[in-house]
C-alpha cells in the first residue's frame, strides 16, 4: 500500500508508520529521519538542512523534492511506502502528485492524525529518541522510558532529546505546522483520499487505518 501520514509534530506519525510497515512489509520514508541522518553524517544535504531544522523551520521544498525523487525510485519502494513527514507544504504535495504520475503510482490513502494540542505539547517535551541513526527507536520519559541508564532497549545506544525539542523550537514547529502543513488536510480532502483519525491510542488508530484500507 501507499499511504501518506499527516499530522502535527508529535501526533504519532512515526509510531503508526512503524506499525503499518510491520503489518504489510512496506517501507517507512521519513524525511525527518533522512535529514537527521544527513546532518549526523555531515553531508552537503545535512549542512544545508541543519540550521532550518534546529530553528524548527521547514527545509526548502527543492531540497526535499530532490531527496524524494530519488528515494521513491529505490527498489524497496516497490513493496509500497508510508510517507511520514512528507509532504509538508502545498508545493511539495503538487510536486509529489506529478512525481507519482511520472512513476505511474497511485496513493491508497492519506491519513490525518488529529491530536489535541495539549497532548502534542506534553508528548514533544517528554519524547526521547535513540541516538543510533539505524535504530531511532522513540521513547517517552513518562509512558515508555528507556533503561535506567538512559540507554535504548533495542540497541543499547544512548537515548537523547532531539536538538529541535527545546521549548522554543517546539513552539516554532507547531506554528510552522499550522501555517504550512495543516492546509494539506483540505487539499487531500478535496482529492477524496483523506481519512481523519482522532484517537490518541496507537492501537485504535492502527485498527481504523486497516479498516479504511480494506474498503479500498
Residues identified as active-site: 13, 88, 127, 162, 173
Instruction: Report which DSSP code applies to 59.
Output: P
Given 65, 72, 164, 205, the residue binding ligand ADP (CB under 6 A)? 164
Residue of minimal Cβ distance to ligand ADP: 32
Which of 204, 163, 151, 130 has its CA nearest to residue 53?
Answer: 163
Can residue 58 be called a binding residue for ligand ADP (CB under 6 A)? yes
Distance, C-alpha 113 to centroid of its chain: 11
Least Å distance, CB 173 to ligand ADP, is: 5
Can residue 32 be called a binding residue for ligand ADP (CB under 6 A)? yes
Can residue 18 be called a binding residue for ligand ADP (CB under 6 A)? no
Nearer to ligand ADP, 94 or 211 (CB): 94
Only segment of 15-23, 31-39, 108-116, 199-207 that touches ligand ADP (CB under 6 A): 31-39
Which of 119, 86, 136 has its CA nearest to residue 199?
Answer: 119
Nearer to ligand ADP, 147 or 198 (CB): 198
Write the binding mask 104 to 143 for ligand ADP: x where contact by CB under 6 A, - elsewhere. Answer: ----------------------------------------
Q: Where are the alpha helices (DSSP H) in the chain?
A: 13-24, 31-41, 44-55, 61-71, 90-102, 117-126, 167-176, 183-190, 202-214
Compute the distance between CA of residue 86 and CA of residue 5 in angstroms, rounded to an integer: 8
Nearer to ligand ADP, 56 or 146 (CB): 56
Q: Are residues 32 and 85 in contact, defined by beta-carbon separation less than 8 angstroms?
A: yes
Only segment of 39-47, 49-57, 141-149, 197-205 that touches ligand ADP (CB under 6 A): 49-57
Which of 111, 104, 96, 97 has its CA nearest to residue 78?
Answer: 104
| Residue 39 in grid coordinates | 546532518
Can residue 16 be called a binding residue for ligand ADP (CB under 6 A)? no
Host H or E run for residue 197: strand 194-197
Binding site for ligand ADP (CB under 6 A): 9-10, 31-32, 35, 52-53, 56-59, 64, 85-86, 88, 92, 164, 173
Amino acid at each position: 500500500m501507499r499511504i501518506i501520514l499527516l499530522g502535527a509534530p508529535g501526533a504519532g506519525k512515526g509510531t503508526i508508520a512503524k506499525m503499518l510497515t510491520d503489518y504489510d512489509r512496506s517501507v517507512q520514508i521519513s524525511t525527518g529521519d533522512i535529514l537527521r541522518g544527513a546532518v549526523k553524517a555531515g553531508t552537503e544535504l545535512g549542512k544545508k538542512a541543519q540550521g532550518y531544522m534546529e530553528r524548527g523551520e521547514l527545509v526548502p521544498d527543492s531540497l526535499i523534492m530532490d531527496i524524494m525523487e530519488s528515494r521513491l525510485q529505490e527498489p524497496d519502494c516497490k513493496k509500497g511506502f508510508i510517507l511520514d513527514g512528507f509532504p509538508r507544504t502545498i508545493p511539495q504535495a503538487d510536486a509529489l502528485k506529478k512525481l507519482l504520475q511520472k512513476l505511474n503510482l497511485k496513493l491508497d490513502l492519506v491519513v490525518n492524525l488529529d491530536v489535541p494540542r495539549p497532548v502534542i505539547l506534553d508528548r514533544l517535551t517528554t519524547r526521547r529518541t535513540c541516538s543510533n541513526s539505524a535504530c531511532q527507536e522513540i521513547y517517552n520519559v513518562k509512558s515508555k522510558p528507556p533503561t535506567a541508564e538512559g540507554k535504548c532497549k533495542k540497541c543499547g545506544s544512548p537515548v537523547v532529546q532531539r536538538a529541535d525539542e527545546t521549548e522554543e523550537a517546539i513552539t516554532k514547529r507547531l506554528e510552522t505546522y499550522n501555517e504550512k502543513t495543516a492546509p494539506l488536510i483540505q487539499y487531500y480532502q478535496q482529492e477524496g483520499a483523506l481519512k481523519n483519525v482522532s484517537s490518541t491510542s496507537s492501537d485504535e488508530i492502527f485498527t481504523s487505518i486497516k479498516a479504511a484500507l480494506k474498503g479500498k
